[in-house]
Structure 1
Amino acid sequence: MSNPYQPQQSNPGQFPGPQPSQPMGQPMPGQPMPGQPMPGQFARPYEHPQEQTVMVLAIVGIFFSICSPIAWYLGSKAKNEMVAQNMEPTSKLKTWTTVAMVFTIIYLVAIGISIIMTVVGGLAFMGAVASESSAGLLPALSAI
């Protein structure tokens, strides 16, 4: 009876276990090289060099509106570069680009509302001044 805890003797030069049918380092047919993504898949997430810049500009853009569109532009550009190189953008880059986009839209809506309110308020003021003293104000303005 043999000892189950001792390795079995094999032929010299032959490794125990199943023998590979392909040479080492060669992928099976239809498989990508080791370290390469499958077709249609992204490689592991990679931090883009501008990722920190996008994050800082998005945070500053919460308080200063000019920084939000810049962060949105740089974040979108970085994401497009990564997708073109078959790399998946990190969730941090996606998040800060989305934050910059949301604040840019909020600022554009706020600017639009303030312009509308200024125009409506100006027209209301002009209408009130004109109806209040149209006879008394016009001669005084024409004298100037």
Structure 2
Amino acid sequence: MSYPPPQYGYSPYGYGPPPDHPQATTILILGVLGLAFCQVLGPVAWVMGKKALNEIDASGGSMGGRSSVMVGYVCGIIGSVMIIVGLLFVVLFVVLGIVGALDSTSSY
């Protein structure tokens, strides 16, 4: 007597997680590097992260990696703010230096 082949049904473990966004790791690395070493990378991570978050939201859950993209995005924002604050300090010191130089020359 021959038995029929076993029937394959649904996996008892369910499906795996959705694949990550293709740029999730890149955005995470750019955000962390922009925060720690080279703040010029901050705005790049910010823009790329916003675009990737929009794509993840539009995919309706078929794309993962949201947490990696979000961390890179936030690090990019912080790095961009650090650039702005640094530039404001440079402008402040230049203005104070000019005012101080003008003040010291006008007293003679």
Query: If the length of structure 1 is used for normalisation, what is the TM-score?
Result: 0.55
CA distance 1:128–1:90, shift in 2 (3 Å): same
**Cα separation, 2, equivalents of 1:45 and 1:122:** 58
- Paired residues in the alignment total 90
> Structure 1 residues 75 and 53, CA, compared in 2 at 3 Å: closer, same or farther?
same
Relative contact order: is structure 1 or structure 2 higher (C-alpha 8 Å, sep ≥ 6)? Answer: 2
Equivalent-residue separation in structure 2 for 1:50 and 1:123 (angstroms): 48
Structure 1 gaps, min length 5:
1-34, 36-43, 134-144
Same amino acid, percent of matched pairs: 24
CA distance in 1, matches of 2:94, 2:65: 42
Tell me the C-alpha RMSD between the 2 structures: 2.0
Read off the aligned partner of 1:81 and give its amino acid letter: E
Q: Structure 1 residue 111 and structure 2 residue 90: aligned?
A: no
Summarize the Cα distance change of 1:93–1:45 in structure 2 as closer, same or farther, 3 Å threshold.
Answer: farther
Give the TM-score of the pair, scaled to structure 2. Answer: 0.72
Flag the structure with larger Rg: 1
Higher strand content, 1 or 2: 1
- Contact 2:19 2:65 (8 Å CA) reproduced: yes
Structure (1 or 2) with the greater helix fraction = 2
- Contact between 2:27 and 2:72, CA under 8 Å: does it hold in 1? yes
Matched residues in 2 for 1:117 and 1:93: separation? 36
Q: For 2:104 and 2:90, how far apart are their aligned partners in 1?
A: 21
Structure 2 unaligned regions, length at least 5: 1-14
Distance change in 2, residues 1:125/1:102 (3 Å): same
